[in-house]
A and B are shown apart, each in its own frame.
Chain A
Amino acid sequence: MGRYLSKKTLVYLVTFVIAVTINFIIPRMMPGNPIQILLSRFSGMEGGREIIERQLTLLFNLDDPLIVQYFNFWRSVFTGDFGISIMQFPTPVMDIIKKAIVFDLILLVPAIILGWIVGNGLGAFSGVNKRADNVMMPVFYFLTSSPYFWLAGVVAFFLGVILDWFPISGAYGVTMIPAFTWRFILDYAKHWVLPFLSMFLVDIGGWAIGMRNMIIYERSSNYSKYMEALGASDRIIRNYGFRNGVLPQVTGLALKIANIIGGAIAVETVFNYPGLGRMMLNAVLNQDYFLLQGIFLAIVTMTLAANFLVDIVYMFIDPRVRLSLSGEV
C-alpha cells in the first residue's frame, strides 16, 4: 500500500515539475511583449506611453534574466503569489483564479461524476437489452464523437435560441447581483444547465460505449456461463458483470479527466461562462504571462489531483492492485 502510494506520488511529482517548466516557457516563446499589448490600446499624451511602459516593465520584473524569472516562478508556485495580472492590472492573479475556479468546480464536478455514473448506467442497460442497444448505440457514438464546442453550439441553438428555455451567456442574468437568495440561485442554476449539459452529453456517450462493450464481454465470459449453468438469476450475473466491467471505466476516468477539463475551456468560451477556461483564453490573447501561468498551474494541479484521487479509489475497488503492489500476492 505504501509502496503503491509512494510510487504514484513520485510519478505525479515529476509530472508536476515538467508541467511547471513548460508552463513557464510557453508564454515566453510567444512573439511580442505583453506590456506593449496592454498599452497598444492606450492613446494619450505623447511620451506618456513610454513612461507607463517603463514603470510597468519594472513592476513586472520583465527585465530580469529568464533564469531569475524562472526561479521566481518556482517560488511563486509554493507561495501562491503569482504576481499581478497584466490584463486585469492591478488585480493579483490569485484573486482572479479564486473567483473563477468556483464556477469551474460547480460545473466540472457534477459533469464528470454524473456523466460517469449515468453513462455507465446507460451502457450497462444497453449491453443487456438488444432492442435498446440498437437505438442507443448510434446516439452514443454521435455524442462521444462530437467536439465539446460543437455540441455546446448545438445545445445553445436548440435549447437556448429556438426553444428559449435557457439563457445562453454568462453565469447569471444581466440584472442579477450575486446574493444568497432563491432568485439568484435559481437564475444561476438556469445559466448552469446548458454548459453542464454540453459536457455531460459528450461524456455519457464515451462511458456508455465502454460499459456496454464490457458488459457484453463479461456476459460471454466463462464465469458468467458457469453461473448461468448453475442457474443463477440474470440479475446476479449482470451485477457481477457490472462490477468487473466498471474497473476499466475507473481507469478510463483517470485518463479522461484532462480531456474533460480541456473540454470545459471550449464550453465556457461558447457560453461565455466566467470560469478558468474563458479566463485562460483571454490571458492568451492578451499575453498575460502571469495570469496564464497561474491558471495553467491551477488546471494542472486540478488534473493531477483528480487523477491521484482516481488512483486511490481504484486501489480500494480493485483488490488486485492493492495486493499486488503491497507484495501480498
Chain B
Amino acid sequence: MKGFSRLFLVFMLVLVFSLTSFGQELDRSETLVVTGAAWGPPSSWNILIPNPAEGTTALVYETLFSFNPLKNEYRPWLAETGEWVSDNEYVVKLRKGIKWTDGVDFTAEDLVFTYELAKDNELPYSPIWKWLRAAVAEDDYTVRFIFREPHYAEWDRELYQRYIIPKHIWSQIPADELITRANRNPVATGPYLYHTATQDRMIWVRNDNWWGNEVFGTPKPKYIVDLVNVSNNITLGMLMKGEIDLSNNFIPGIEKVKQAVDLETWFEDEPYMLSWNTAKVYMNTLRKPMDDPKFRRALAFAVNQNNIVERAYGGIVKPANPTGLFGEGWLAYLDQDVVDEYGFFYDPEKAGALLDQAGYVDVNGDGWRQQPNGDPIKLEIIVPSGWTDWMEAIRSIAIDAQAVGINLVPAFPDAALYDNNRFNRNFDMLIGNQQSTLSSSPFTYWNGVINHDIHGSSVNNGNWGCYDNPEIFRWIAEFNITKDEAEKMRIASDIQKTLLIDMPVIPLWHNGLWAQYTNINWTNWPSENNPYGVPVTWRNAYQLGMIDVLINLEPVN
C-alpha cells in the first residue's frame, strides 16, 4: 500500500507538471472579463473561415469603416475616406502610418490582396467577384474598386464587415491551407493581440502600439478574458460575484434579477435591451394551406405579440414592427403609410373574418376549420428543444391559432433536427431569426428573409418557407443596385407593401442585444442616457461600437 501511494503521488505530480506552462496571473483591475459570445473553445484565429475566436474580428483584424447602428453612421477606420467617384467606381484612401503588429507597413497592397485572394481561391466572400471587376492600388494609400455591377447596399455592409489581412503573411500560405490554418497568434492591425487560449477562455492583451491610440483613444482594459458560455445560473452567479463584468447571454428573468441586485442594462426599464434581430414565424409555402396568402395574413391577425413579449420574455424584448424592420439604418426606409394601411395587429375577430372570407370554415363541426376543399388542417410549429423563450412563444402562438379555429400544435425537436428541417423544407411553421441581424441597410433583412435562392437541393440563405415571388426578388436586387435615395424609398415601400399583403413571414418580436454588466470592476458603461457605444462581444460586432466601450470604460480601482 505504501508503494502504491508513492506511485500515486508521482503520478499526480506528473499530471500537474504536464498541465502547466509558464505564465502569470492577470491583474483584475486591468482585466475585463466578458462572456456570452463563444459557444466552444477558441480554436481558430483564421479570419477567412466562419468560426474564428470571437474578437479575432475587430479586436485583431480591422475593417475599412466602422458602423454605429445607434446613429446609422459610418466612421472611417483603416480608411481615411471612401467614396463613389462614379456610378461604378469606389475609391478608398487609407490612413497613413498604420503598421501590422510585426512592424511591416500597412498599405494599399494589403487591401487589394485581401480581395484578390478571394478571386483566386474559393473563400466565403468569393461571390463578390461576380459583381466586382477589379481592385487597383493607385499608390501606396489609394485603392480604386471598379465594379461590373455596383451592389451599393452590399458594398456598404462590406465596408464594415471585411477584415483586411496582411499580404506578406497570407501570400506565403499554400492555397489548400487557407481555410485549414488555425492561424494562432495572428498578425493584424487591431487594438488587441493574442495572449492565451485554453479550453474555456480566450485572453487578449492590449496592443500598446495600436495606431488608433492617437486617433480614438487607448482601450482601458489591458487584458480581455472572454469566457466560453456556461449555463445561465453560473453566469449569473459569476456576474453577481464580480467575476464577470459583461455578459452577452440571454438570461431569462433578468428583469427580476435586476431589481434584486445591482446589474446594468441598456434601458433602465422595459425593454431593457437594444434590439438585435427579428424573430419571425416562417410558413412553408410549399404546403397547404400555407401556400395561400390569405391564410397567412389571417394568421398574422390571430397572434398576440404582447403575450409573447410579456409572458415568454418578461418584457425584455420589443414587439416587432409588422415589416420586421428595426434599427436606425433600416427604419430610414420604413413607409409608415404602408404600415398603417396594410400592417397587421392582434385582432382575433378580424382573423376569423378573414379566414371565413377565404373559405376556411368548420364544415364538419369538429371545432376546427377545414380547407376550402374540405381537407382537414393539422399543422405543427417548431423551435429547437431547450430554447425556453421560443418554446414559450410557440405555445402562445398555438393557443392563439386554436382560438380562431386553426389546429396548430407546438413541437420541440432537437436543435440539429430543427436545423435539418429548416434547411430541407420539412416543416409547417417555425420560428427563425436568421439573416435579420441589425445592419446598415434593410437589404440585409429582405435579402435574407425572402432570398431568391430557393430552388436548390436545400435552402441555405434564409427564405426557409420558399416564398416564391420573382417580382419582389427583382425589387430587392434593384434596391441593392440603386444609388438614388428617392428611388430606393419607392422600391422599399413596394417591398414592404407586398410583404404585408403576401405575409410570407410574420415578424413577431425583436430579440435583444442581450447585455448585462456590473460596476464592480469597471464603470462608465454605455446606456440609454450615455449612448457612446454598444456593449456587444458577439462575432463581427465589435466594430459596431464595442471598441468605443473599451476606450471609455473606467476602472473602479
Interface membership of chain B positions 231-253, coded 1 if the CB is closer than 8 angstroms to chain A and 0 otherwise? 10010011000011000000000
Q: How far is the CB of A68 from chain B (nearest CB, A)?
A: 21
Q: Is the beta-carbon distance between B243 and A174 smaller than 8 angstroms? A: yes
Q: Are the CB atoms of A48 and B126 closer together than 8 Å? A: yes
CA distance A40 to B351 in the complex (A): 34
- Contact A52 B180, CB 8 Å, known A90-B44, A174-B33: no
Q: A85-B43, A90-B181 are known contacts. Are A177 and B460 too (CB-CB below 8 A)?
A: no
Q: Is the CB of A175 within 8 A of B225?
A: yes
A44 — which chain B residues lie within 8 A by C-beta?
A: 50, 124-125, 161
Q: Scan B452-477; emit 1 where CB is below 8 A from any A CB, else 0.
A: 01000010110000000000000000
Which of the 9-residue segments A6-14, A137-145, A226-234, A282-290 touches chain B? A282-290
Stretch of B8-16, B258-266, B358-366 on the interface side: B8-16
Rounded to whole angstroms, the CA-CA distance of A121 and B27 in the bound complex is 45
B122 at the interface (CB under 8 A from A): yes
Asked if residues A274 and B127 are in contact (CB atoms below 8 Å), the reply is no
CB-defined contacts of A154 to chain B, threshold 8 Å: none
Measured as residues with beta carbon below 8 angstroms from the partner, the interface class of chain B is 35 or more
| B43 close to A32 (CB less than 8 A) | no
A285 to B227, CA, bound (A): 19
A174 to B17, CA, bound (A): 21
Q: Which of chain A's residues have a CB closer than 8 A to the CB of B40?
A: 87-88, 282, 286
What's the nearest-Cβ distance from chain A to residue B50, in Å? 4
A63, CB-defined interface residue at 8 Å: no
Asked if residues A48 and B181 are in contact (CB atoms below 8 Å), the reply is no
Of all chain B residues, the one with the shortest Cβ separation from A38 is B51
B31 within 8 A of A: yes
* Residue in B17, B21, B198, B225 whose Cβ sees the most chain A Cβ within 10 Å: B198
Is the beta-carbon distance between B434 and A48 smaller than 8 angstroms?
Answer: no
CA distance A91 to B200 in the complex (A): 15
Chain A 20-79 interface residues, beta-carbon cutoff 8 Å to B: 30-33, 36-55, 59
B26 partner residues in chain A, CB cutoff 8 A: 175-177
Residues of B near A31 (CB, < 8 A) are 414, 416-417, 420
B148 at the interface (CB under 8 A from A): no
Q: How far is the CA of A309 from the CA of B227 in the complex (A)?
A: 38
Q: Is B196 an interface residue (CB 8 A)?
A: yes
Distance between Cα atoms of A31 and B413 in the complex (Å): 11
Query: In the complex, are the beta carbons of A36 and B419 less than 8 A apart?
Result: yes
Residues of chain B lying within 8 A (CB to CB) of residue A274: 41, 198-200
The reply to whether A43 and B434 contact each other, CB–CB distance below 8 Å, is yes
Assess the A89–B44 pair: CB atoms within 8 A: yes
Task: Tell me the complex Cα distance, A160–B240, Å.
Answer: 13
A55-B175 Cα distance, complex, nearest whole Å: 12
The one of B31, B230, B448, B453 in contact with A175, judged by C-beta atoms closer than 8 angstroms, is B31
Question: In the complex, what's the smallest C-beta–C-beta distance from B284 to chain A, in angstroms?
Answer: 18
Q: Note all chain A residues with C-beta closer than 8 A to B124.
A: 42, 44-45, 48-49, 51-52
Task: Say whether A47 contacts B419, CB under 8 Å.
Answer: no
| B398 interface contact, C-beta 8 A | no
Contacts of A175 on B, CB cut-off 8 Å? Answer: 25-28, 31, 33, 223, 225
Q: Does B556 contact A (CB under 8 A)?
A: no
Residues of A contacting B16 in the complex (Cβ-Cβ under 8 angstroms): 106, 180, 185
Query: Closest approach, in angstroms, between the C-beta of A189 and any C-beta of chain B?
Result: 10
Q: Please give, as numbers and ranges, the residues of chain B lying within 8 Å of A84 by CB-CB distance.
A: 180
Does B501 interact with chain A (Cβ within 8 Å)?
no
Chain A residues, CB < 8 A from B435? 43
**In this assembly, does B201 line the interface, its C-beta being within 8 Å of a C-beta of chain A?**
yes
- Please tell me if the beta carbons of B231 and A272 are within 8 angstroms of each other in the complex: yes
Does residue A254 face the partner (Cβ distance < 8 Å to B)? no
Q: Judge if B423 is at the interface, Cβ distance under 8 Å.
A: yes
Q: Which of A37, A50, A99, A282 contacts B460 (CB 8 A)?
A: A50
Given contacts A102-B18, A174-B227, contact A89 B49 (CB under 8 A): yes
A184 at the interface (CB under 8 A from B): yes
A252 to chain B: which residues have CB within 8 Å?
none
Complex CA–CA separation, A128 to B107 (angstroms): 83
A179 close to chain B: CB less than 8 A = yes
For the complex formed, measure the closest distance between the CB of B522 and the CB atoms of chain A, giving whole angstroms.
Answer: 14
* Interface residue ranges of A93-124 to B (CB < 8 Å): 96, 99-100, 102, 105-106, 109, 113
**A169 at interface (Cβ–Cβ under 8 A)?**
yes
Q: Which chain A residue lies CB-closest to B227?
A: A174
Query: Do residues B200 and A100 form an inter-chain contact, with CB atoms below 8 A?
Result: no
Q: Is the CB of B230 within 8 A of A179?
A: no
How far, in angstroms, from A44 to B448 measured CA to CA in the complex?
Answer: 10
Give the residue of A89, A171, A176 whose beta carbon is less than 8 angstroms from that of B43: A89
A225 in the interface (beta carbon within 8 A): no
Residues of A within 8 A of B154 (CB): 45
Is the CB–CB distance between B416 and A37 below 8 Å? Answer: yes
With A38-B50, A45-B124 already in contact, the answer to whether A100 and B199 are too (CB < 8 A) is yes
Check A51–B123 contact: CB distance below 8 A. yes
Q: Which A-chain residue is minimally distant from B128 (CB atoms)? A: A45
Besides the contacts A106-B19, A179-B23, what 10 more A-B pairs have beta carbons closer than 8 Å? A47-B126, A48-B123, A54-B122, A91-B41, A96-B41, A102-B18, A106-B12, A109-B11, A181-B25, A183-B25
* 5 smallest beta-carbon distances between A and B, as pairs: A48-B124, A88-B43, A177-B23, A47-B127, A179-B23
Residues of B within 8 A of A (CB): 8, 11-12, 15-28, 31, 33, 40-41, 43-44, 46, 49-51, 122-128, 130, 154, 161, 179-182, 196, 198-201, 203, 223, 225, 227, 230-231, 234, 237-238, 243-244, 414-417, 419-420, 423, 434-435, 437, 447-448, 451, 453, 458, 460-461
